[in-house]
Amino acid sequence: MLTQFIYAYISTVGFSLLFNIPKSAILKSAMVGALGWLIYSEVHQFSQSAILSTFLGACVVSVLSEIFARKFKEAVTVFVIPGILPLVPGSGMYNTMLALIQQNFSTAALIGSETIFIAGSIAVAILLVSSFTRLIFLKKI
């Protein structure tokens, strides 16, 4: 669990430098990404549902980003974008493509629909969290 956290932390530091995040925010946004991944992997271990665990992971990422954005007076995207990236279903995309090439159409449909739902769950998580924070704090950051 600790190794997962460290790997996710370093990975998110890499993503945040790729997106030129302000220097002061790099370590914070990596913290957001690593905690999001931790929730994802823990929930995945005990529920075996990639969709649920991605949803909860993305929820954690967006809640933390909204809090950090208000606390450190930055744009929310500075924290959300690198934090969310480890959850984006790259492996689902790859496996769908592979199944399509091998003409395993039923597998492709299965994995493909799951991938779409995972992407959708990320979207819904961001949507829910930022809608609620807008209800709570009327001020946009």
Partner 1 sequence: MKADRRRVLALAVCAGEIMLKNGAETYRVEDTIVRICKAYGISNVESFVTPTGIFVTVDYENGSDEPITFIKRIKTRTIDLNKVSKVNTFSRSLMDTRYSIENGLRILKDIESYPTYPKYIRVFCAGLASSFFGALLGAGILDFLSSFTISMIVFLAVNYLERHQANFFIQNALGSAIASLLALLFVYLGFGINLDKIIISSIMILLPGVAITNAVRDSISGDLISGTARGVEALITAISIASGVGIIMNLWIHSLGGRF
Task: Count interface residues toward partner 1 (CB under 8 A).
Answer: 50
Cβ neighbours of residue 93 closer than 8 Å, sequence gap 6 or more: 115
Site string for partner 1, 76-105 (x = CB under 8 A): xxx-xxx-xxx-x-xx-xxxxxx-xxx---
Which of 71, 103, 78 lies closest to 23 in space, CA to CA?
Answer: 78
Contact set for partner 1, span 41-60 (CB under 8 A): 41
At its nearest, how many Å lie between partner 1 and the CB of residue 127?
5
Which candidate, 112, 67, 99, 65, places its Cα nearest to that of 85? 65
Can you give the binding site for partner 1, defined by CB under 8 A?
A: 4, 7-8, 10-15, 17-22, 25, 37, 41, 73-78, 80-82, 84-86, 88, 90-91, 93-98, 100-102, 119, 122-123, 126-127, 130-131, 140
